[in-house]
A and B are shown apart, each in its own frame.
Chain A
Amino acid sequence: MPELASAPRSAAVHLFGDRHILLPNGNRIYELDTDSYAAIAAAVDARDEAAVGASIAALGLDAPPFVDDVPLRDPPLRAISLAVAQKCNLGCTYCYAQQGDFGGAARNMPIETAVAAIDLLFRDVAPGEKVNIAFLGGEPLINRAVVRRATEHARQRARERGAEAAFSITSNGTLIDDGDADFFEENGFAVTISVDGIGEAHDAQRPFKGGRGSFDTVMTRVAPLLRAQRQMQVSARVTVTPRNLALRKTLDDFLSRGFHSVGFSPMLAAPAGTSGNDVEMHAADLDRMLAAMIECGDELRRRVIAGRRYAFANLVNALREIDRGTHRPYPCGAGASYLAVSAGGELAACHRFVADDAGAMGDVVTGIDRDRQSQWLADRHVSRQEPCRSCWARYMCSGGCHHEVIHRGRPACDYIRGWLHYCLETYTELLREAPGFFGSSS
């Protein structure tokens, strides 16, 4: 089989598009003249890292490391999620929270716990700084009263501190009531609705506990939210399994319904013992997903070049980060400036690690367990990951989702590189054909 263009051939450079290179060090992108490109391509083909380095230096593009190998230490806490309800009314086939209760007793978070968590978040926030509070579950709207009171409390704290609080909620959409639209709008929520496809495709993965499909209910309940969005943004998040790979259809349908954006993520690690094992994505499925993602991406290219909007979140976000040259040693803020709070007040590296000892980080009363956090940050740094250290995408992917890696390893590297390679090519094309897209998105 011929080697993929996205394959990891050099740790120092990645070649793509028409004479373009990405230097992982700083995720810098350059276009080379023909001779320089030929020289560097020859060195990459020969697997000669010394020659690659020499070519980069000859172009004057060598630079001190943008990211060093030193783990982050005692990062300030700037985002929390509150598992306000560790229970759910749906019975999704792949749920990491095992139908909402994370494998334990179903419970709601008491308001005292939410307040203590928020106070912890604001403890050392300076005026002008921004913090994020996310409401998750289970299904957070099962415990609507705490969502509202906690929001109010956070706004009060933000006013006192001269800081800014941003709110988000991830919901299955089935319990939204008449008052929610106003509340979310007033507080500028980023609302994410988990929807896995249109009609039956969704119903197959996201039935009510009794087995009945939830799609129609979700759409009816979400409609008032979609109409009300001004300050708030209502986005759709689709968990992709081998059964719902018609991404383009799903994307266009949700956009036409008025969702602010639509994003996809592959189901990589369902908890053992759930029927989710059947819906995990394997290599052949990921190939199909990549093709479907590219189909959506090609449509974005066409629309953007025509001067229109197309809120395919995966690509829009990737293009923005590529344009910025974002380069990170961690894939997200989990266990660093972002922590999750369980209904019982335990702190976890993120919402996926609630009730999972692998990500335990203290609790809201005694505070962040800095030793465990330091150990986590040392272990999770991309320079400690294999085979990441030799991969060109290491400061983009940054090692991938901790939860998936810890529980399933890295089955999706080819998919991720294939996708990023496509994003890089799209970036240089749009930079040429529609540069205003980047000017206005900054």
Chain B
Amino acid sequence: MTIRGLRILPPLAIARLGSSPEPLENYDVRVAENDPPGFRKIHGAETLVVDRHSGTIRRSYTPKSIRFKDRQGRVRPVAPFLEVWADVDGALVPLTAALLAKNKLTIDDVEWRAQVGNHKAFRRTGKAPDRIDADTGWFRGHRPHPLAGQCENFLDGKSIPFGDVQFIRPSRRFPEIRLRFTPPKGLIYGAVARHRKADVADIVYDSSRGTWSGYSDDDAVPPLIVTNPSSIYANTGDDRTTSRGYLDDECDGIVEVRIVTSRKKPLQAFARIGAGPPDFAPDSFPVRTIADDLEQALLGPDPKDDEVSSAWTEEIIRRAFETVRLQNTAALNGNPLEGGVANSMASQDAGLGRAEEPIMAPAIVDSLALQALHQSVFAALRSGSAPWFGQVLRQYDDVGDLTDRGRRRMPAMMRGSDGLHLALTRRQRNAVLGSGNQQATSEDARAVTFTAPTTPPGKETE
């Protein structure tokens, strides 16, 4: 039972902002039975209730329904747990007080550190004193450790709270070693100049030291390189999109755990965290996610035969539909609309020089018509008769094809990070292409489940 190494799982945990003191409860999201393109259902799942003062998990329970805002209308923050797992003889198992004890260690040997930053102003101005960073330093014990965002260009004594981290005190019922990151509230902070009082929670930025208030992407010449898209910051609304000097409390960074042992090198591991806005449609998911990009980086763009499955293909299509379903596809398509012109993929393409035309025939892009279309795609897939489907997926290097044919490939009417029509990851597309004639089961599944019988005596099968 010797601990050979540590990991923190999940390796990337996303927190979501909100000012309620009660974190969002846990839930599962499951595909609707018998209605594959229907909305997924949210079911309460085991929720751990942390006593903020002592750091113990007071109890766990399964909520009957999930409320995303509290009674006062405040958004409940998503505050992820990060678990420490121990590498014991080739397998990772949750690190517990008991496992520490077996290695002659105690909970007091466990140290943590968290570092997060918000470099949004720095990314624009290019000036290092505009970096906002927070660092708890190494700590032990179970009280919450605030992440106070410090910045050279802040007014004296000012900082931006980026939430806190708390080492959860293991208990008999919850013996695992874990940390909780509670994100900040989602507040906006201002600079001495150009703020409007009601917009901001506090004035933190010293405009006599830094240039963030008054900055404009229009002035950026190399070595300053603007973001793409550019001018995405709160501005005064003038022609130059002059920055109001606003800052938010989004952040990202790392949490580290360290256990000093008698060995030469301490046991240590880290994971990444980030805090972003809430997911306002929690039963719907984007078609291409950070998980898809990480999987491609980890496993490569070519899934193995036993990795592809119709279930995976179905999930990709479901997600495309989940995005499309919440878009006014008629507007995005560039259909003429009563009451004004919406910004659309058609108008974006026109900005590149292309003739401004709807992407699809206007009649087929109504939300409900698209739903019917997706239902028939599911039906075709499920009867094994849609080998054409993979062929209509846009290839990653065909994103510049703005012909009608090119623009009608899937996913349609969505925009990718290059500003052109979105492509899936190559791994996702290859998964769809490869799922033509998959068996429900593979030899691999068989290997997983067939274990030589080893009934431990005294625990006979009944």
Partner of A63, one of B46, B62, B441, B459: B441
Closest to B461 in A: A332
What CA separation (Å) do A337 and B457 show in the bound complex? 11
Binding site for B on A (CB under 8 A): 26, 28, 31, 33, 60-61, 63-64, 66-67, 72, 75-76, 78-81, 127-128, 132, 134, 136, 162, 164, 166, 168-170, 190, 192, 230-231, 235, 263-265, 307, 313-314, 317-318, 324-328, 330-334, 336-338, 340, 350-351, 432, 434-436, 439-440
Closest to B62 in A: A307
Q: Is the CB of A190 within 8 A of B458?
A: yes
- In the complex, what's the smallest C-beta–C-beta distance from A157 to chain B, in angstroms? 15
Is B454 located at the chain interface by the 8 A CB criterion?
yes
Is B282 located at the chain interface by the 8 A CB criterion?
no
Is B196 located at the chain interface by the 8 A CB criterion?
no
Q: What residues of B have a CB within 8 angstroms of the CB of A334 in the complex?
A: 455
Q: What residues of A have a CB within 8 angstroms of the CB of B457 in the complex?
A: 79-81, 132, 134, 136, 168, 170, 338, 340, 350-351
Q: Is the CB of A26 within 8 A of B462?
A: no
What CA separation (Å) do A9 and B455 show in the bound complex? 30
- Name which of B62, B445, B453 has the most chain A CB atoms within 10 A of its CB: B453
Q: Is the CB of B458 within 8 A of A169?
A: yes
Q: Is the CB of A132 within 8 A of B384?
A: no
Partner of A128, one of B89, B172, B454, B462: B89
Chain A to chain B: the 4 pairs with minimum beta-carbon distance, closest first: A332-B455, A168-B458, A128-B89, A134-B457
- In the complex, what's the smallest C-beta–C-beta distance from A307 to chain B, in angstroms? 4
Partner of A66, one of B33, B90, B449, B454: B449
Q: Is the CB of B45 within 8 A of A332?
A: no
Is B326 located at the chain interface by the 8 A CB criterion?
no
Q: Is the CB of A328 within 8 A of B453?
A: yes
Closest to B45 in A: A436
Closest to B2 in A: A162
- Name which of B34, B445, B460 has the most chain A CB atoms within 10 A of its CB: B460
Is B297 located at the chain interface by the 8 A CB criterion?
no
Q: Is the CB of A265 within 8 A of B462?
A: yes
What CA separation (Å) do A436 and B44 show in the bound complex? 9
Q: Is the CB of A317 within 8 A of B91?
A: no
Q: Is the CB of A170 within 8 A of B458?
A: yes
- In the complex, what's the smallest C-beta–C-beta distance from A144 to chain B, in angstroms? 17
Closest to B437 in A: A60
Closest to A432 in B: B33
Is B280 located at the chain interface by the 8 A CB criterion?
no
What CA separation (Å) do A86 and B172 show in the bound complex? 38
Partner of A307, one of B61, B453, B458: B61
Known A136-B457, A230-B172; 11 more pairs at CB < 8 Å: A60-B439, A168-B459, A190-B456, A190-B459, A265-B462, A327-B450, A330-B453, A336-B454, A337-B454, A338-B454, A340-B457
Closest to A166 in B: B456
User: What are 17 A-B interface contacts by the 8 Å CB criterion?
Assistant: A63-B439, A66-B446, A127-B89, A134-B458, A169-B458, A190-B459, A265-B460, A318-B462, A324-B449, A330-B453, A332-B453, A332-B461, A336-B454, A351-B457, A435-B28, A435-B43, A436-B28
Partner of B384, one of A60, A235, A337: A60
Q: Is the CB of B98 within 8 A of A331?
A: no
Is B1 located at the chain interface by the 8 A CB criterion?
yes
- In the complex, what's the smallest C-beta–C-beta distance from A226 to chain B, in angstroms? 15
Q: Is the CB of B90 within 8 A of A128?
A: yes
What CA separation (Å) do A147 and B197 show in the bound complex? 77
Q: What residues of A have a CB within 8 angstroms of the CB of B459 in the complex?
A: 168, 190, 192, 235
Q: Is the CB of A333 within 8 A of B453?
A: yes
Contacts A128-B91, A164-B1 given; indicate if A314 touches B453 (C-beta within 8 A): no
Q: Is the CB of B462 within 8 A of A317?
A: yes
Is B58 located at the chain interface by the 8 A CB criterion?
no
Is B363 located at the chain interface by the 8 A CB criterion?
no
- Name which of B1, B45, B441, B451 has the most chain A CB atoms within 10 A of its CB: B441
Closest to A307 in B: B62
- In the complex, what's the smallest C-beta–C-beta distance from B260 to chain A, in angstroms? 24
